[in-house]
Structure 1
Amino acid sequence: MTNERYETRINRALALIDRHIDQDLSIERLADEACLSPFHFHRIFSALTGESVHAMTTRMRMERALALARRAIRPQWKAIAAAVGYRSQDVFTRAFKRYFGCTPSVFDLERYWRDRPDRDDALAVSRYFLRPALALPADFEVEIVDRPATKLIISRAVGGYLDPTLIVAAFERINAFSKALGIAMPGRLTGASQDDPELVSLSRCRYDFCLEVPEETSASKGLQAVHRTEGRWAVTHVEGDFAAVDRAWNLLFKSWLPASGRNLRAAPVEEVYHQTPNEIGWDCFDVTLAIPLDD
């Protein structure tokens, strides 16, 4: 079996982890998803991802727990523990302490950020997380829309914040795929950051280019197929350079969302490309920013 076929199988297991981080993720279940024996699956998974299954699922559960805690004024750790796959709060607390060195109730995000080995690199990417909320301009327009369920073909870059050529390569893969299928990308291509750079080391941060495709479409090598569920989204359009997009994200998350009284749904935010990088370049943007909302 070639590395490409192994990669496709491991990608199916990774997609299962993303979708069901709140459920049992035993080696047997993940191996079955990848159509590999548990013995071989563990070895192949570690070789292709650089992490053991246990290390990755624990890391993703801890990162998800912090993300959920940040959304609440008073985090309910028992509910958070269940939401990330721990049926016992005591087990969750012990796992949290092993991972972060302290219990959830005394975790200090500012100290965690300050002590991160890649802090300087993270600051060079964006100071979004350290900036205060902006005053909400009267002309900042946000629309609430319903988006239907659809199949997506994904091209993923891991560590692209540190090495932008990885993001370019991921785009080129999805660009070639769309051309082969004769699918125009504007309006159907989105970018989705799967991880929060404040909580996840930059070397592990994932960025996905996602192409909406007909249901019968199959992913080619280096790509994976997933589904976006139907749901309600808050959207705003922005044109300009990176600073304009960064400002719009800042307004949408830190100013509009709290003022709206709405809650986020557990799904990645997206950037819908109306002009793609091969049309407008990598320094200019014509995108709709979209955040998933609870109904």
Structure 2
Amino acid sequence: MKPALHHQARMRRVLEHIEHHLHQPLNLDELSRVAACSKFHFHRQFSATFGLSVQRYIQLARMKRASYQLAYRAAHSVTGVALDAGYAAPDAFARAFRQRFGQSPSSFRLTPHWQPWLAALEPLNHARSTLMHPVYNANDVTIRTVPATPVGIMSHRGDPALLGATVQRFIAWRQAAGLHPKNSPTFNVWYSERQPASPDDYHVDLCAGTRGPIEAHGAEVVAGEIPGGRCAVLRVTGHTDNLEPAALFLYRDWLPASGETTRDFPVYCQRIKFFPEVPEHETVAEVFLPLR
């Protein structure tokens, strides 16, 4: 293995270890052993690789998981989220959460301020998605004929920074409708790029598979369908917040070399394993490029 790839593999092991043990104490000795590196050099290598210290990375990873539990998992109590984040008392967690995101945990649960939340987590997301970006090749793509799937659709149009609020409403609707992800497939259909030239042009549909009539949630949920047919499918494991690199690979690299042509339906994904139910590096999504 080339030295650069060997270094990256060691750092990946460290990130996976951190995510598996976010609810436990983590120290420099332990992480340097995982990296097979001297503890006297490990923290500098980590900072040089990811652009932030080990301790800050751990704190941000814990706060990201805690914020997901607060916003999207109503069954998790604030006290339980605090303990899971490694805090012995809810008040210490509340102070740290407010310092990071500008809101108390209870306030964030009710009305998250998504733009400050995104800004606070940008160093973490940059470390994961930019510095440790995935590499795909043609062998990772399969061609699959998929059946048509009836779905309930909630559209998000406008600033992608506010997508979290739509996700909250979508989760609340599917829970009320009894459409649990274990028996109701989850899809995202992208009608725009992840970061269009104008935020107003951003458009994504959040979809849950259904077996019967759709119970409307105000005027937000409508009945629709993920059409059946041939698709190029690329499976992505780990840090599936940003699937744009996978979609770009299909369009830029795989499609021109394949001799295939696209069908008149946008690229979409199916979410299979979700954060925070599993650590972020174990999340799974499949990206579908519809073909003729």
TM-score normalised to the size of structure 1? Answer: 0.49
TM-score normalised to the size of structure 2? Answer: 0.49
Query: Which is higher, the Rg of structure 1 or of structure 2?
Result: 2
